[in-house]
């Protein structure tokens, strides 16, 4: 089996950019449908709110893909696995584009979410190819591509669906993934598997990794809390903006989300800093900055400038802490990077669900100050845990 020192191909700058674009385009497929739910409601004659099952099933597919597909990156040849998953994703996207009814669209949305997790196969591959001294920087570029994909997905989807209809969003996504798959087929090196464990034992080893590595347990706990604060903010922002003094619509939320591009641009810088000073320092600073962001949100309520400044600080901090935490986790076992990524991402997504629930409840009881209090407390606990790293 290939080890960290058996690597024969180091990633060129062009290959790293291709991996970043591929990961960003793949993850965007999980967010396109959130922008055209109103079109689905009208076209299929649905009751109010019924179209929401489409993004719910897409996110459920994400969870299944992270848990049951992503670990295969350690067991199978990575290039073949990535290309096969992209092929399945293209089929799912075309199936969604030609949906004859809403039930069909819902089913294909589950499949789109399942295979869009090819992004979580690309990330550990990029780390595997990277020389140790540049691992954080390269990881930052690829995860930055993912963040940009998430941020731009709703804007692209909203524009296309308004101009030509929602099926064309899926046709666009399928064409984009075909082009990316072709580029990866040409330039991606073949990487042999790092383990010969059977599939059941491969999944069982996820718990073994958690039990064995204290660093992994602390890293996922810290990221769980940071991401809970992050999603707690974004899940309630639309409610805040709909009330005085803002009284904005959904477009304003999308525009504020684009401010988060600053976080994507900062990710490679944070990764390089983690390479030089160690990831623990970056994680601790990131958690502290998230606390600062929520203090800004809480103390400058009613200020649009305060919101923008706080979002820049928060997105930069969340992205930086994620890159540094992932760099630390990936260094634990070169033969298990796909499984380590599965543990990390599954826990982080669980943190997002926790943050959406608790942050929403806090908003219902105490308003925006409740959401800010939850975010500051959650990030504060993350900072305390990071001091033990």
Domains of the chain are 4-196 (1.20.1250.20), 205-386 (1.20.1250.20)
Measure the CA–CA gap between 171 and 176, rounded to whole angstroms.
9
SS percent in the chain: helix, strand, coil, step 5: 85, 0, 15
**What pLDDT, on the 0 to 100 scale, is given for residue 332?**
93
**What pLDDT, on the 0 to 100 scale, is given for residue 8?**
41
Measure the CA–CA gap between 135 and 126, rounded to whole angstroms.
8
In a 10 Å sphere around its CB, with 0-12 CB exposed, 13-18 middle and 19+ buried, how is residue 74 labelled? buried
**What pLDDT, on the 0 to 100 scale, is given for residue 131?**
85
Measure the CA–CA gap between 22 and 27, rounded to whole angstroms.
9
pTM for the whole structure:
0.83
72, 202 Cβ separation under 8 angstroms:
yes
**Tokens standing for 386?**
């990071």
- DSSP letter, residue 29: T
**What pLDDT, on the 0 to 100 scale, is given for residue 210?**
95
Measure the CA–CA gap between 123 and 127, rounded to whole angstroms.
7
Measure the CA–CA gap between 71 and 205, rounded to whole angstroms.
10
Angle at 107 between CA 94 and CA 62, to 5 degrees: 90
**What pLDDT, on the 0 to 100 scale, is given for residue 5?**
42
Tens digit of pLDDT at every position of the chain (389 positions):
544 444 445 568 899 999 999 999 999 999 898 778 888 988 999 886 688 788 889 988 998 999 999 999 999 999 999 999 999 999 999 999 999 999 999 999 999 999 999 999 999 999 889 888 788 888 888 988 998 898 788 788 888 988 999 999 999 999 999 999 999 999 999 999 999 999 999 999 999 999 999 999 999 999 999 999 988 888 788 778 778 888 875 566 667 777 777 666 766 676 677 777 778 888 999 999 999 999 999 999 889 999 999 998 998 898 889 888 988 899 899 899 999 999 999 998 888 888 888 888 898 899 999 999 999 999 999 999 998 75
Measure the CA–CA gap between 368 and 269, rounded to whole angstroms.
32
DSSP collapsed to 3 states, 312-373:
HHHHHHHHHHHHHHHHHHHCCCHHHHHHHHHHHHHHHHHHHHHHHHHHHHHHHHHCHHHHHH
**What pLDDT, on the 0 to 100 scale, is given for residue 6?**
40
**What pLDDT, on the 0 to 100 scale, is given for residue 389?**
57
Buried b / exposed e along 18-30 (16+ C-beta atoms within 10 A): bbbbbbbbbbbbb
């Amino acid at each position: 089996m290939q080890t960290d020192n058996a690597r024969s191909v180091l990633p060129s700058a062009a290959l790293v950019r291709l991996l970043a674009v591929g990961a960003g385009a793949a993850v965007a497929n999980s967010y396109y449908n959130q922008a055209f739910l109103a079109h689905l409601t009208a076209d299929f004659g649905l009751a109010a709110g019924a179209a929401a099952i489409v993004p719910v099933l897409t996110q459920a597919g994400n969870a299944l893909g992270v848990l049951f597909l992503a670990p295969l990156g350690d067991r199978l040849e990575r290039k073949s696995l990535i290309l096969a998953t992209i092929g399945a994703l293209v089929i799912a996207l075309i199936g969604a584009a030609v949906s004859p009814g809403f039930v069909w669209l819902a089913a294909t949305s589950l499949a789109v979410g399942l295979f869009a997790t090819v992004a979580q196969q690309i990330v550990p591959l990029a780390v595997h190819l990277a020389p140790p001294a540049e691992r954080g920087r390269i990881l930052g570029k690829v995860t930055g591509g993912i963040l940009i994909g998430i941020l731009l997905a709703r804007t692209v989807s909203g524009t296309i669906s308004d101009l030509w209809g929602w099926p064309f969003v899926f046709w666009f996504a399928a064409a984009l993934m075909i082009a990316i798959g072709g580029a990866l087929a040409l330039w991606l090196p073949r990487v042999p598997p790092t383990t010969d464990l059977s599939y059941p034992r491969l999944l069982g080893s996820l718990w073994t990794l958690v039990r064995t590595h204290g660093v992994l347990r602390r890293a996922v706990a810290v990221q769980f809390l940071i991401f809970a604060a992050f999603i707690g903010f974004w899940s309630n922002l639309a409610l805040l903006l709909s009330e005085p003094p803002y009284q904005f619509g959904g477009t304003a939320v999308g525009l504020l989300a684009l401010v988060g591009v600053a976080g994507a641009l900062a990710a490679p810088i944070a990764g390089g800093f983690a390479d030089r000073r160690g990831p623990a320092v970056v994680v601790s600073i990131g958690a502290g900055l998230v606390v600062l962001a929520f203090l800004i949100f809480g103390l400058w309520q009613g200020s649009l400038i305060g919101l923008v400044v706080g979002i820049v600080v928060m997105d930069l901090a969340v992205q930086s802490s994620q890159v540094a935490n992932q760099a630390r986790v990936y260094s634990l076992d070169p033969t298990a990077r796909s499984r380590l990524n599965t543990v990390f991402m599954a826990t982080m997504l669980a943190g997002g669900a926790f943050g959406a629930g608790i942050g929403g409840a806090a908003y219902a009881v105490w308003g925006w100050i409740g959401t800010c209090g939850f975010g500051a407390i959650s990030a504060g606990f993350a900072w305390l845990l990071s001091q033990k790293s």
